[in-house]
Amino acid sequence: MTGEVVPEAQTASDLAPTASDLAQTRQLQHTAAFTEMSPTAFISVMASSGGSETDCRDFATETQTEISTSVTSTQATLDAIDNGDGCAQEGQTEVSTAQDRVDNAQTSLTAAQADVVTKEAAKHVACTADVNLGTMGLNALEMETCFDYTNLADYTTIKAACTSATSALTAANQLVVTAQADLTNAQTAHAAAVTEAARLMSACLCRVHHEQNAAWSAATSETASHAADWKQAHEVVCALDQTTTCTVPTCPTVTQPTVAAGVANADDEHCTSTPTTAPTTAPTTAPTTAATTGSPCSQHTCCSQMGANCRSGCYNTGAGQYAGDTGGLCSAGGTTGPGNSAGACQGGNACQDCNPAC
C-alpha cells in the first residue's frame, strides 16, 4: 500500500447533464430561435422542444424587461460620464487670484501717482515761501562783504521745510516706480495664469470628448439588437393572443448626454495628435580611400630641402608648369623637371598637399 487515494470510478449517471445544464442549453437554443425566426416559427420551436404557451409568453415578456433594464442601466452609465461642464472653470481660481493682484497693484499705482501730485504741490509751496529777513541796520547792508542770511531763524525754518518737501517728493516718485514694477509683474503673472487656464480647459475638453465618444460607442453597440428583439417580443405575444393588429410600443433607447460647449468639436480644436518619433536613418560608414601602392613620394617632392614633402608641387607661382605639377616649378636646390623638382617654392608660396612622412 502506497497510501495513494484512488478516485472512485464515475458512473454514467455522474456524466449525465444536470437539469440546470439542460435548462441553460434550451435557453440558448430558444434565444437563437427567437432572434432568427418569425414569431409563429419561434412558438412552434418552443412547443416542439417541450415548451408551453406560457413559456413562450414568459420568454417574450422577459425579453422586454431585460431590454428596459439594460437601457436604464446603460443610460445611468452614460449620465455618469463627465460632460465637460467643469472644463470652463479649469484654472479660473488662479486667474481670479492673479486678476485681484493686478487690480490691487493698479490701485496702489494710482494712489502713488496721486501722492506725487500732492507732494509736488507741497514742495512748490515750501520752496517758494517768502523769507522774513527782519529789521537790520544800514551798516549791515552797506558792508563790503555779502550779508549772511543763512543764520536767520525764518530762513532756516523755510529752508528745512523745502528740504523736507523735496525728500518727500523723491520718496513718492520712488513709490511710483515700485508700484509700476509691481503692476507689470502682476500683469505678467495674470497672462501666464490665463495661458495655463486655457491649456487646462483644452485638456479637459479633449479628455471628455474621448470619454463621451467611447461611452456612446459602447452603449450603441450594447443596445444595437434591442429594436429587433423588442419588436419580436411583442409580436410573439400578439401571435399568442391571436390579435388581428399588433401594436408595438416604441422601443426604449439610450439618449446621448448633452455635453458642454467645446466638447463635440474638441477633436479638431483641442486635441493634439501624439507626435510620432521620426525614424532615424542609420549612419553609413564613410568610405575609406584605398592606400596607394609604392612610395608615397612617387610624385615629385617639392620643398624637400625645407623638411617637408608635397605630392602635387607648388602653387600660385604661375610659371613653368611641368606635367604632373599643379602650380609650377621649384627653384634653388634641386633638379627641375616633372616628378623630381626639389627646393623652395618660387615667390615664397607654400607647397600643396605636404606629406611629412615622405
Q: Which three cell numbers stand for residue 85?
A: 461642464
Which domain covers residue 326, as residue numbers? 296-358
| φ/ψ of residue 158, rounded to 5 | -70, -40
Are 354 and 313 spatial neighbours (Cβ–Cβ below 8 Å)?
no
Is position 6 within any domain?
Answer: no
The verdict on residue 179 lying in a domain is: yes
- Summarised one tens digit per residue, pLDDT across range 116-141 is 999 999 999 999 999 887 777 777 66
Whether the CA torsion 43, 48, 49, 54 is positive or negative: it is positive
Place of cell 429587433: 228
Dihedral Cα 43, 46, 51, 56, nearest 10 deg:
-40
DSSP string, 5-48: PPPPPPPHHHHSPPHHHHHHHHHHHHHHHHHHS-HHHHHHHHHH
Asked if the structure places residue 10 within a domain, the reply is no
236 and 126 housed in the same domain: yes
Segment 255-278, tens digit of pLDDT: 999 999 999 988 877 887 655 566
**Residue-level pLDDT at 138:** 75
Give the Å distances, CA to CA, from 339 to 299, 301, 303.
Answer: 5, 7, 12
Q: Report how far apart the first and last C-alpha atoms of the chain are (Å, whole number).
A: 97
- Evaluate whether residue 261 is within a structural domain: yes
Shared-domain flag, residues 250 and 188: yes
* Residue 88 neighbours by CB under 8 Å, 6+ apart: 201, 260, 261, 262
The verdict on 113 and 170 lying in the same domain is yes
For residue 324, the model assigns a pLDDT of 40
Predicted pLDDT at 144: 67
Q: Is 286 helix (H, G, I), strand (E, B) or coil?
A: coil
The better pLDDT of the pair 305, 18 is held by 18
Give dist(CA 81, CA 77) in Å, integer.
7
The verdict on residue 255 lying in a domain is yes
Identify the weakest region by mean pLDDT among 88-92, 184-188, 308-312. 308-312
Would residue 290 count as lying in a domain?
Answer: no
> Is the residue at 258 inside a domain?
yes
pLDDT band at 280 (very low <50, low <70, confident <90, very high): low
* Total count of domains within the chain: 2
Residue 253 confidence (pLDDT) above 50? yes
Single pTM value for the model: 0.57
When mean pLDDT is compared across 102-116, 179-193, 233-247, the lowest value belongs to: 233-247
Cα separation, 303 vs 308, whole angstroms? 6
In the chain, the amino acid numbered 302 is: C
Q: Does one domain contain both 106 and 241?
A: yes
Residues 158 and 218 grouped into a single domain: yes
pLDDT, tens only, 62-83:
999 999 999 999 999 999 999 9
